[in-house]
Amino acid sequence: MTGTGTRGSLRVGLVGYGLAGSVFHAPLIAATEGLALDTIVTSDPERREQARAEFGDDMRFAASPDELWKRAGELDLIVIASPNKTHVPLATAALKAGLPVVVDKPLAGTAAEARELAALADERGLLLSVFQNRRWDDDFLTVQQLIADGELGKVQRFESRFERWRPQLKGGWRESGDPQEIGGLLYDLGSHLVDQALTLFGPVVRVYAEADVRRPGAETDDDTFIALTHASGVRSHLYMSATTAQLGPRFRVLGSTAGYVKYGLDPQEADLRDGKRPRNGSSWGVEPKSMWGRIGAGESALTGMGSPQGEARGEGRPVETVPGDYPAYYEGIATALREGTPPLVTGHEAAAALDVLEAAHRSAREGITVEVSA
């Protein structure tokens, strides 16, 4: 730990104030007791005004990350929310400056790069964590609880979807075909889906994937499927798409005694985009009853289960969704920095997820099933 902010708060430098920085990181850092958002790196005048409007005129800004490295003794944490291709060089520079680092996903373009970063952090005794906020989605927390409570029996198949209907390209580096940009859905949404599957069911031994470029003018994958075989025997089927005209369930988890189906997305991202903020005593992350998933067994229990229509037909038993909790990530970071404990998401875990993403990329490119060392 380096400097200390006012009233003992740990001072945070945030690199990047685009979607990730402004919607996720800055609001969650500001809402975390024990953390203080000190400096935002952006040279964009409009983004600076946007930040001042939310965090006050006392917010400090820097035009480049190099300004933060020069002030390393005044800061306790660097958060990197800049484009994917900058993650490795910026995280490396921060660690060499003696600063703990949180990096938005994906940590790197390859597992080897991720392991080099993790090794550098270990060597210097510094925190390195990856922002995998989807571990605190309401539906994912609910699945974790159902599995832990034995409600499904032995899980056999896990289906997980991040599907959207975006027939028109939005442009930007996320849709670039340049490999240096690390764009496309496999590394974007796939980073979340793979991380969730590994968190639930452990290491993967076999990967099969299909990756397509569907939209006119698209340069990188926008409709991708991954099949994982876990060492535990569970099979995970992961779907990510920008071209889905009819959305499937967010989760379908099939066990030896029951299945759970859940439609719709966790509300936290939409709330953050709308300017809502987590505060003590608020009902943050709470989902309406109409969106609860359902658990049951047999055709009558599973047909349409988890949708509002299914609820109207009384199919299956409704399961109250566990409230989502994105604030838990940065609360964990604050605890790890103060107590010297590992963060809730480590660089080594990110490297394991990248092993799977690299195998999926190879599988889709070569049309083969790829073996992975568990």
**In the 3-class helix/strand/coil scheme, how is 85-118 assigned residue by residue?**
HHHHHHHHHHHHCCCCEEEECCCCCCHHHHHHHH
Which position has the token pair 């442009």?
Answer: 171
Task: Give the mean pLDDT of 326-332.
Answer: 97
pLDDT of 315 higher than 70: no
Domain boundaries, the chain: 6-134+329-344, 135-324
Distance CA(333)–CA(41), nearest Å, equals 20
Residues ≥6 apart with Cβ < 8 Å to 348: 115, 118
Which position has the token pair 């939409």?
Answer: 270
Distance CA(372)–CA(374), nearest Å, equals 6
pLDDT of 64 higher than 70: yes
> Which tokens is 256 given?
């030896």
Strand ordering across the sheet containing 60-62: 60-62, 35-41, 10-15, 77-80, 101-104, 128-131
pLDDT of 92 higher than 70: yes
pLDDT of 304 higher than 70: no
Task: Give the mean pLDDT of 290-314.
Answer: 65
High-pLDDT (> 70) share of the chain, %: 93
Would strands 223-230 and 128-131 be described as parallel, antiparallel, or unpaired? unpaired
* pLDDT reported for residue 2: 41
* pLDDT reported for residue 176: 83
Could you give the angle at the alpha carbon of 373 between the alpha carbons of 124 and 135, nearest 5°?
A: 65
Q: What is the DSSP letter of 336?
A: H
In Å, how far are 50, 243, 249, 367 from 220, measured between CA atoms? 31, 13, 25, 17
Distance CA(204)–CA(371), nearest Å, equals 9
pLDDT-derived band at 282 (thresholds 50, 70, 90) equals confident
Mean pLDDT over the full length of the chain = 93
pLDDT of 40 higher than 90: yes
* pLDDT reported for residue 305: 46
Which position has the token pair 């009853």?
Answer: 289
Distance CA(45)–CA(134), nearest Å, equals 31
pLDDT of 33 higher than 50: yes
pLDDT-derived band at 114 (thresholds 50, 70, 90) equals very high
Residues ≥6 apart with Cβ < 8 Å to 364: 186, 209, 210, 211, 221, 224
Q: What CATH superfamily classification does 6-134+329-344 receive?
A: NAD(P)-binding Rossmann-like Domain (3.40.50.720)
Among 161, 156, 107, 169, residue whose Cα is nearest residue 139: 161
Could you give the angle at the alpha carbon of 356 between the alpha carbons of 352 and 360, nearest 5°?
A: 165
Which 3 state secondary structure label does DSSP give 19? helix
Which 3 state secondary structure label does DSSP give 282? coil
pLDDT tens digits, residue range 197-232?
999 999 999 999 999 999 998 889 899 999 999 999
pLDDT of 251 higher than 60: yes
Would strands 259-262 and 293-296 be described as parallel, antiparallel, or unpaired? antiparallel
Q: What CATH superfamily classification does 135-324 receive?
A: Dihydrodipicolinate Reductase; domain 2 (3.30.360.10)
Distance CA(44)–CA(59), nearest Å, equals 15
Distance CA(184)–CA(274), nearest Å, equals 25
State phi, psi for 372 to the nearest 5 degrees.
-125, 140
The DSSP bridge partners found for residue 14 are: 40, 79
Pairwise pLDDT comparison (53 vs 182), residue with the higher score: 53
pTM above 0.95, yes or no: no
* pLDDT reported for residue 4: 39
Among 100, 64, 59, residue whose Cα is nearest residue 330: 100
Distance CA(77)–CA(10), nearest Å, equals 7
* pLDDT reported for residue 107: 97
In Å, how far are 47, 59, 345 from 54, measured between CA atoms? 11, 10, 28
* pLDDT reported for residue 8: 82
High-pLDDT (> 90) share of the chain, %: 86
Task: Give the mean pLDDT of 120-125.
Answer: 98
Query: Is residue 43 a contact partner of residue 17, using CB atoms and an 8 Å limit?
Result: no
pLDDT tens digits, residue range 168-206?
998 887 878 888 878 899 999 999 999 999 999 999 999
